[in-house]
Amino acid sequence: MSQKECAIVTGASSGIGAATARALADSGYDVIACARRVDRLEALAAENSAITAHHLDITDQKSVDQLVNDLSDRNVSVLINCAGGAFDGATVLNSDPAIWSKTYELNVVGTVRMVKAFTPAMQKVGHGHIVIISSTAGHAAYENGGSYVAAKHAETSLARTLRLELNGLPIRVTEIAPGMVKTEEFAKIRYGNVDRAAKVYEGVAAPLLAEDVAEAIRWSVTLPEHFNVDSLVIRPVAQAAQHKVHRTK
C-alpha cells in the first residue's frame, strides 16, 4: 500500500466513523475524515497527522461534488461508508413517512452518491475497496424499526449489486453488518430520550463498541487485494439474534 493512497471515512465525527478513522490512520493510511460537524473532525485530526478533517454532507450532492474536487489530486483507494442512523422506534402504522424518507436519504442515497463519486478515482489508482456499514437490521426485520430496517436492507442489497456490477474490476466491495453496538449517540438520536436509549443496553455486560467494528473494518481493508470479505456479521456474545439478547437483570 502506497503511503500516498488515502481512505475516505464518512460519518467520522463520532462513533464507528471516528474509531475507523483512527484505526486506518494507525494502519498507515492517509485518512480523509468527513462529516458535518467540523469541530469534532478537527479534534480527531489533532490526534494523528495522518487524519485530515473535511466537511461533508452526503445528503447534499453539491457537498459531495466539492469533496471530489478537493481530493482530485489524491489517490483515493478506500471508501468507508459509516454515515447513517435511525430516527424513530415507531410501528409502521404509527410512523411518519418523512422519517422514512430522511432515513433512506441518509443511509442509502447518501452512500450511492459517495460510491458514484469515488469509484472512478479507484479505477484511476488501479484498485480500490468500498466498505458499506449496514446492520444486522439489513438481514432480519424486527418490530418498531421499519424505517431503519428497510434502509439497511437496501444497503445490504446495494453492496450485493455493486459486487456484481463491478465484477472484473480490481475493486472490492464489503458489507459490515454490526449487531448491538454501544456508541455515544446512536440510540440517543433514534429515541430522543436518554433514559429510553439507556434501556437498549440495560443488563448487557459487554455490547460491541465502536472500536470493535473499526477493527473489523480495518481487518477487511488490509487483507491481500485478491481476498474479498463479501459480508461480515458481527455481534456481542450476549446477542444471539435480533430478538435474543442475554441480560443480567
Domain map (residue ranges) of the chain: 5-245
Query: What is the rounded CA–CA span in Å between residue 93 and residue 190?
Result: 18
Strand partners, 129: 78, 172
What amino acid positions are annotated as catalytic residues?
Answer: 148
Model confidence at 1, pLDDT cuts 50, 70, 90, reads: very low
Q: Which three cell numbers stand for residue 244?
A: 435474543
How far apart are the C-alpha atoms of 31 and 213, rounded to whole Å?
17
Q: pLDDT value at position 123?
A: 96
Tell me, what's the pLDDT at 79? 98
pLDDT confidence of 174, banded at 50, 70, 90? very high
Say which amino acid occupies 192: G
State the pLDDT at residue 187.
62
pLDDT of residue 184: 76
What is the residue-averaged pLDDT of the chain? Answer: 94
The predicted structure's pLDDT at residue 188 = 65
Q: Give the global pTM.
A: 0.94
pLDDT(15) > 50: yes
Cβ neighbours of residue 62 under 8 Å, at least 6 residues apart?
A: none
**Mean pLDDT across the stretch 71-86?**
96
Q: What cell does 233 get?
A: 456479521
Q: How confident is the model at residue 194 (pLDDT cuts 50, 70, 90)?
A: low
21-49 mean pLDDT: 97
Q: Which CATH number fits domain 5-245: 3.40.50.720, 3.30.1640.10, 3.40.50.300, 1.10.287.610?
A: 3.40.50.720
- Distance in Å from the first CA to the final CA of the chain: 47
Paired residues of 5 in beta bridges: 75
Return the pLDDT at 2. Answer: 45
pLDDT at 177: 97
What is residue 193's predicted lDDT score, i.e. its pLDDT? 66
Q: Is the pLDDT of residue 3 over 60?
A: no
CA gap 176, 67 in Å, rounded: 24
Q: Are 82 and 17 in contact (CB under 8 A)?
A: yes
Cell 437483570 belongs to: 249
Residue 183 pLDDT: 84
Q: Are strands 231-234 and 75-81 parallel, antiparallel or unpaired?
A: unpaired
